[in-house]
A = this chain, B = another copy of it.
Amino acid sequence: MRIITIGREFGSGGRELGKRLADSLNIPCYDKEVMDEIAKLHNIPVERVEFISESDISIVYPTTIGRSFASPFAFNNDAIKVLSAHHSVIRKLAVQGDCVFIGRSADLILSEYNPLNIFIYADTQSKINRCLARAKGVVTESEVKRQMKRIDKERAHQRKLLTDIKWGQRGNYHLMIDTSNMDIKALVPVVTAYAESFFKEN
């Protein structure tokens, strides 16, 4: 089974690269699909699934957990459902065959399948420019900066719950690419060739 996971900094173009890579390899790419599946499974609105998945875990759990006056009934049921479905849905999609996963710690969740793990990053200004171009005037530069900081912090934090190796550190990944000033389309043949040689050897 050939599974590719794409970790990425917010605004680095990792999602676009993952989707194009999947097209080039003619395999499905799972991104928001994971959220859709969780929403269906538990009959929770997909927006709420996304909110829970992208939040710092301490936001979705009440602060009373662990204190003597907290009752188990105070637990946020949706959060528990979403967080546990997160793993099972990713596994369910993975066993259907070769695929690309965007984010969501799929590299760690699927480690027994020896996925090819790629991390995409870029310098801050390139990421801001990419976001502004994509947003077409809907957001300002300072809003993008704030959002970038918040989301990357949450990604790093969520990873901490699963592994000791920090988010974005080389020990987690087989290939790491800086997309600053790079056309994502131009990278696709390169990464496709790398993936083919990776799966020949692994």
Binding site for B on A (CB under 8 A): 119, 121, 168-170, 173-178, 180-183, 186-187, 189-190, 193-194, 197-198, 200-202
Subset of 14 A-B contacts with CB under 8 Å: A121-B170, A169-B169, A170-B170, A170-B178, A173-B176, A173-B178, A175-B177, A175-B178, A182-B197, A182-B198, A183-B197, A186-B200, A187-B194, A190-B190
Within 8 Å CB of A174, what residues of B? 177-178, 180
**Minimal beta-carbon separation of A17 from chain B (angstroms):** 13
Question: Is there contact, CB below 8 Å, between A201 and B175?
Answer: no
A168-B170, A176-B177, A186-B201 are known; give 20 further A-B pairs, CB within 8 A.
Answer: A169-B169, A169-B170, A170-B170, A170-B176, A173-B178, A174-B177, A174-B180, A175-B176, A175-B178, A176-B176, A181-B201, A181-B202, A182-B197, A182-B198, A182-B201, A183-B201, A186-B200, A187-B194, A189-B193, A193-B193
Question: Is there contact, CB below 8 Å, between B197 and A187?
Answer: yes
Closest Cβ neighbor of A185 among chain B residues: B197
Within 8 Å CB of A187, what residues of B? 194, 197
Within 8 Å CB of A169, what residues of B? 169-170
Bound state CA distance, A174 and B175, in angstroms? Answer: 11
**Minimal beta-carbon separation of A120 from chain B (angstroms):** 10
**Minimal beta-carbon separation of A154 from chain B (angstroms):** 19
The winner among A121, A180, A190 for most chain B CB atoms within 10 A is A190
Within 8 Å CB of A189, what residues of B? 193
Bound state CA distance, A193 and B178, in angstroms? Answer: 15
